[in-house]
Amino acid sequence: MLGIVKPPGPPAFDLPVVRDGYRWWYLDAVSDDGRHALVIIAFVGSVFSPYYYRARQQDLGVPEHFCAINVALYGPGRRWCMTERGEARLSRGASHFQVGPSSVEWRDDRMEFMIRERSTPFGRPLRGRVRAWPSADCGLDVHLDPQARHRWTPWSPHAEVQVDLDAPNLQWRGRAYLDANAGDEPLERAFRTWDWSRTERDDGLRLHYEVRYPDAGQQLLCQHVHPDGRHVDAEPAPSQRPRVTGWGLRRGPRTGHPINRIQGLEDTPFYSRTLFKASSGAHTVHEFLDMRRFEASWVRFLLPFRMPRRKG
Work out the widest C-alpha separation in the chain, in whole angstroms: 51
Phi, psi of 298 (to 5 degrees): -70, -30
Q: What pLDDT does 10 receive? A: 61
Q: Which residues contact 110 (CB under 8 A, 6 or more apart)?
A: 131, 132, 133, 134
Kindly list the averaged pLDDT for each block of 10 residues, start to end, along the chain of length 312: 44 94 97 94 97 96 98 96 97 96 93 96 96 87 95 93 97 96 97 94 92 94 92 91 87 83 92 88 91 95 95 66
Write the single-letter amino acid at 201: R
**Rounded alpha-carbon distances, angstroms, from residue 95 to 30, 108, 134, 180:** 25, 10, 15, 14
Q: What is the pLDDT of residue 260?
A: 82
Burial of 10 (0-12, 13-18, 19+ CB in 10 A): exposed
DSSP state of 146: T
Nearest 5°: phi and psi at 102? -110, 155
The CA–CA distances, whole Å, from 34 to 72, 108, 158 equal 16, 29, 17
Inter-residue contact 155 to 134 (CB < 8 Å)? yes
Q: Provide the 3-class DSSP secondary structure of residue 282.
A: coil
**31, 11 Cβ separation under 8 angstroms:** no
Contacts of 76 (CB under 8 A, 6+ apart): 35, 36, 168, 170
CB 100, CB 66: distance < 8 Å: no
Q: Which segments of 168-254 are extended strands (E)?
A: 170-183, 193-201, 204-212, 218-225, 231-233, 243-244, 250-251
Cα-based torsion angle of the residue sequence 150, 89, 294, 147 in order, rounded to the nearest 10 degrees = -10
Q: Residue 46: its pLDDT value, please?
A: 97
